[in-house]
A and B are shown apart, each in its own frame.
Chain A
Amino acid sequence: MSTPTRPVAAYRKGATIPGPFGLLKEGIADVASRRRLIGYLARADLRKAGSDTLFGNIWWLLDPLLQMAVYTIVVTVVFARKQEAYPLFVFAAILPWKWFNSAISDTVSSVSGNDKLIKQLKFPKIVLPLAAVVAGISQFIFGLIPLVGMLLLFYPHHLSWTILLIPVVMVVQLFLNLSLGLLFSAINVFFRDISNLSRHVLRLWFYLSPVLYGADTVAKMGGHRFIGQVLVLNPFYPVLNAYRDLIYYGQLPDWGSLGVVLAGGIVATVFAIIVFKRLEPSFAKVL
């Protein structure tokens, strides 16, 4: 008989639930011990995404480009807005927004969609939303390829070394994606409305974020003080502005407001992990 190499999985389970700090520690330990599973799940997600279409994974490059084309036509032709190099201007914000959008829509159903698995295997459920978030990262990185291509071919005068700082802003955004994804995936188990509701909230959020328009448009909204304030309190306001600073304007972003978003994102992620771990024991019963 072969000697198992993994540690013995003796466990003792009672009805007690650890406190918030214990839950957080458990959640982090879950992720650390199942890194490889998260990787497999993310890779499986990506392979599936490309396997049943003619162009396969080329869609990751085409998707943001086509979306850029649509918004460019709508905004510059229909609304006749003047903005130099508008395709690049909008692409710089579409890419991160698409990342956020798909991170939320993929994670929301990541737990409730795997009901069979959850009822038959013992594993840390936190890997499911995390895998969806990780898969999103690589899609975002693929989207950077057409971005760099566009800069080199059509807008060389916008090309700046500042694009090398994109990963820093990505880290800030990652915590936003992670916290909301974890929270929604857990709550959606109990209330399936979340997945319907999130679609509309995301759409409204998209139009209230500086994707199609820039920070200067928001500044001019003096007449609508309330809306203007909401726009600026939106965590995506500094994040999208930062991407645009790095890609379009070739200048350094406002590190102060980014730092605030980062701190808020980390706090929100900690909160989301605790909520997720607190609800996790009920998943197998409710699904």
Chain B
Amino acid sequence: MDHITGSQDLSAGTDLPGIPITLTINGRVRELSVAPWVTLLDLLRERLDLTGTKKGCDHGQCGACTVLVDGKRINSCLKLAVAYDGAEITTIEGLAQGEALHPLQQAFIDRDAFQCGYCTPGQICSGIGLMNEGRASTRDEVRELMSGNICRCGAYTNITDAVMDVLEKESVK
């Protein structure tokens, strides 16, 4: 696949047809020059060293690359970075407040909601997107609305538990 070439070009240098964009990533404003074929995922991982967001299938089928753009979850592998000029992006690295984990991060630990951990950053960003959407309150609804995130270890039951824990705490508030 050619995306590997794209990544190399990114780190290589200065003579590329870069397009100036501004992104706010995890609260920090970044002025960047980006070649048009660079996906948001490759920009985050290869250039900004935000490697918490994972490349799984690179085709929008697994959800490992899920990030929040203006509070909405999307697959960063299918988005060209240039198209997001001006957007506010939150990745797994931007969820904790200092040493205090996001409640869903803590719930994943409490519920043992991962094994290998590769899908986890995408699962957690997707779970936060799900809560922002406000369309899930039952286990069936959580399962359906988390179906864009594949876990090949099969931790689905505990992932659903973790999301339900936080949803129920939020609804009590």
Question: Are chains A and B native binding partners rather than an unrelated pairing?
Answer: no
Residues of A within 8 A of B (CB): none
Residues of B within 8 A of A (CB): none
